[in-house]
Chain A
Amino acid sequence: MALKNNVPEGPLAEKWISYRGAMPLVAPNNKRRLEVIVVGTGLAGASAAATMGELGYNVKAFTFHDSPRRAHSIAAQGGINAAKNYQNDGDSVWRLFYDTIKGGDYRSREANVHRLAEASVEIIDQAVAQGVPLAREYGGLLANRSFGGVQVSRTFYARGQTGQQLLIGAYQALSRQIAKGSVQMYNRHEMLDVVIKDGKARGIIARNLLTGELERHAAHCVVLATGGYGNVFYLSTNAMGSNVSAAWRTVKRGAYFANPCYTQIHPTCIPQSGEYQSKLTLMSESLRNDGRVWVPKNLDDAEAIRKGQKTGLDIPEGDRDYYLERRYPAFGNLVPRDVASRAAKVVCDEGHGIVGTGKGVYLDFSSAIERYGKSAAHTQGISNPGKEIITKLGTKVVSEKYGNLFEMYEKISGENPYVFPMKIYPAVHYTMGGLWVDYHLETNVPGLFALGEANFSDHGANRLGASALMQGLADGYFVIPYTIGTFLAKEIRTPKISPDDAEFVAAENDVRTRLQGLLDVQGNQSVESFHRRLGKIMWEYCGMARNADGLTKARKLIQELRAEFYKDVFIPGKQDEFNPELEKAARVADFLELGELFAVDALDRNESCGGHFREEYASAEGEAMRVDDKYTYAAAWEWTDTTQDPVLHKEELVFENVELKTRSYK
């Protein structure tokens, strides 16, 4: 099937405007008769459900959490980009568009990214109107800060809790619609299948997690806003519950999954401390504004630190390798995420790592403390300040900027980062790949839409900092409420869909059989232990650096692990009860399939781009090399039957407005 991206004709900057002018409208009396299911209540899902409820559609919203407010958007720290140009530093919709295309290493769709940049401006206005307490200057106007990979200051923030504040804003808007009855909220319900009738997505099978009961929910269309799949790596900065199952179930029913191999590995996370570790914690990118990344030059020093015989403080300045500053003098510590992560891996692979596992580097604030301390002493009129005063004053400045992050670091690591340099290492953070969608955010299955991190559309092969919140809210507040009308305008004569139709009954039976199959294995190994093993395979062969041999091996290992899972997993309890182990088992079963597709996709893409680094495609200095003449496409995979090879459908990416260049941060 040829993929039609349905991008409107016309000049880039006019596509979205002309689309909205020409699209069919659904009259209020018809909206009242149309039903929409929204799965997931993060930024994208909550904003979409709220807005469509406001418009008059009958919305049913689903979350597996106990409350819509718990979605993992809440954990985003740094900020949200918007082309407001409040700083008068030359920002514009075009620049935000361009930075995002370049940051994504020229692997995203121009028209979608431009629309994202246009919507960014409205998001800030909307959030402020809702009472989101974004940071302000003394004059009472909104404040901005800078993020990696760009030259303007366009990031809006709410201390280190921007995701929380924006999600609470969307959750409140959603709560208002719930109170009005335009959104019916289903908490503690997990989508376990999509129902397709006459070729269109018409409902879902959801499991009531408290009772275990399977429920059939029908609607005129289904919107997924179910997040990313970073937990296929087991250890990631995602929440424990984040999973791919809702999206994956639609793949099993014919939806295409695009670019699964594009994963963002975030350079600054707290390193793993032991085998028992359940997740990794991010330390915001903003820290790289002031922190300097280094490892000991001498392997002996690194070993002594790993054994606990020395600390970072014992290494004299001349014996430290500030490798980002050395390799990338132009951008230094502020190179984009993919570049910083790979550089950390290189020095650790060479034996310079500074934690017990060998996988850790320093993020050091001593220079910043000294610099700020001297400046503060000068401001206060202290002449010839001693080291003690400088440290004291500098520590205060650093704590004002990053206090909550330093506190979190100390709680987790037990070390004071004002004294000892922070220990950090890259970790899986975000997935750029996801369900393939067209300009309407509609998958190849009519009536099935995907928003936010669940789709593939805007970030190409690498996402810039502070762009995830922007995309989630753009999709939910400002894109889907329009584009869904294009689908629903054709459905105004479609009567209410009945959940008792044969397709629903059959899908429910499929789910019941699948869950019972998992319970009936009654083997000897826990779900968690399989998930952990899958994560190790993924990290080893599909992580920061990949090669054809490793990926081929990974695919085989995952297939074997999947077979073992269905022979030897043990799940206590039954279907018709509250059973968190069964929930987890169904999710891990899907990760065991997605993981294989991930390896297949990474093997297909014989180039290095963004977060996808193939060792065979690197320059002599170890920099990534794209192969534009062969791989300027989005890889949309069809895979309904895991006994067959996945089928690749290519969407050629056409760049009419920007010239493809090699990214250089030297």
Chain B
Amino acid sequence: MSHGNMNLTLKVWRQKSGQHKGSFETHKVEANEHMSFLEMMDVLNEKLIQERKQPVAFEHDCREGICGSCNMVINGMPHGPQKGTTTCQLHMRQFKDGDTIVVEPWRAAAFPVIKDLVVDRSAFDRIIQAGGYISVNTGGAMDGNAIPIEKDLSGQAFDAATCIGCGACVAACPNASAMLFTSAKVAHLNLLPQGKVEASQRVLSMVNQMDEEGFGMCSNITACEAECPKEISVDNIALMNREYIAATLGSDKTA
């Protein structure tokens, strides 16, 4: 298929490990407009392997925009130029023949680089472990229809729950804040009647853990929302702030 072929120059971040210094490496790649961005990276890696060099390490798995593994800053934008799109769903038709494309890892103190484009996002797991759940054991749940939940409210909780935990919000934020991620989980659970029981403890514990992980403060820049591949709203941050204030006032609960 000769139609739609394109010659690209890639400037890719290479870094042997967190202990080593990194730098950009330039490569020429022949791509096709029907390829996904990651398939273009596959072509580069196949070429590097043929040259008996180390392929570029990057995270990826489902390649359909839902697992949250892929994480590349492309031309300065987390997940690249297309709105509401993960790196794996970005296709090369968004670029032109002759383009130079700069590819970097997420950059945040709380997401240390492991190798090349791979970073450690386990801080997100620890935020969830701090309280991002409803404390019910398996078995003994009441009937699913026992508590009616307003359709719109359920929809609002769902919108927050669509977060894929990729970390683009942190990468987009000049302060490397994790407020969008944390607030999406707080909103998902605190909005629902099932989650109300532990609402104040949840928000205190999760915010506390977020701070301990070394994420920055929120200064209402909202770049997180603009770059979020699931278009999660900063309204969730406002909701979390309200929940947090309510939980700290008139309560003897601590994180």
Contact = CB atoms under 8 A, between A and B. Distances in A.
Contact of B141 (A66, A128, A164): A128
Contact of A581 (B55, B85, B130): B55
A54 B128 contact: no
Contacts of B38: 278
Interface in A70-84: 70-72, 74-75, 84
Contacts of A75: 62, 64, 66-67
B144 A128 contact: yes
A281 B88 CA distance: 12
A142 B57 CA distance: 43
Contact of B144 (A50, A84, A240, A408): A84
A22 interface: no
B124 interface: yes
B192 interface: yes
A72 B165 contact: no
A127 B136 CA distance: 10
Interface of A: 47, 50-51, 54, 65-72, 74-75, 84, 86, 122, 124-131, 133-142, 158-159, 161, 163-165, 168, 171-173, 175-176, 178-179, 185, 187, 210, 237, 239-241, 273-274, 276-279, 281-282, 356, 408, 411-412, 414, 477-478, 481, 526, 528-529, 570, 572-573, 578, 580-581
B34 A158 contact: no
Interface string B117-145: 01011101100111011111111011111
A234 to B, nearest CB: 13
Contacts of B162: 161, 164
A630 to B, nearest CB: 40
Contacts of B39: 276-278
A308 to B, nearest CB: 9
A3 to B, nearest CB: 30
Given A210-B114, A278-B42, A526-B46, A408 B145 contact: no
Given A131-B192, A133-B161, 20 more contacts: A50-B138, A74-B66, A129-B141, A140-B149, A141-B148, A165-B161, A168-B161, A175-B125, A240-B63, A274-B34, A274-B35, A276-B42, A278-B42, A278-B63, A279-B64, A408-B89, A411-B82, A477-B138, A478-B138, A573-B54
B107 interface: no
A532 B68 CA distance: 25
A40 to B, nearest CB: 13
A632 to B, nearest CB: 35
B124 A158 contact: no
Interface string B146-171: 01111100110110011011000000
Give me the 10 closest cross-chain CB pairs, A-B, nearest first.
A140-B148, A172-B133, A129-B141, A133-B158, A125-B141, A179-B129, A51-B138, A128-B144, A239-B61, A239-B62
A175 B133 contact: yes
B59 A66 contact: yes
Given A140-B150, A273-B34, A526 B49 contact: yes
Given A240-B61, A241-B61, A54 B138 contact: yes
A463 to B, nearest CB: 20
A373 to B, nearest CB: 25
Nearest to A242: B61
B32 A276 contact: yes
Contact of B151 (A67, A86, A138, A210): A138
B141 A526 contact: no
22 contacts: A67-B121, A68-B125, A69-B125, A70-B61, A72-B67, A74-B66, A129-B134, A129-B141, A131-B189, A131-B194, A140-B148, A140-B154, A141-B145, A161-B66, A175-B133, A178-B125, A274-B34, A278-B63, A411-B82, A411-B89, A414-B33, A477-B138
Contacts of B147: 128
B45 to A, nearest CB: 8
Nearest to B115: A578
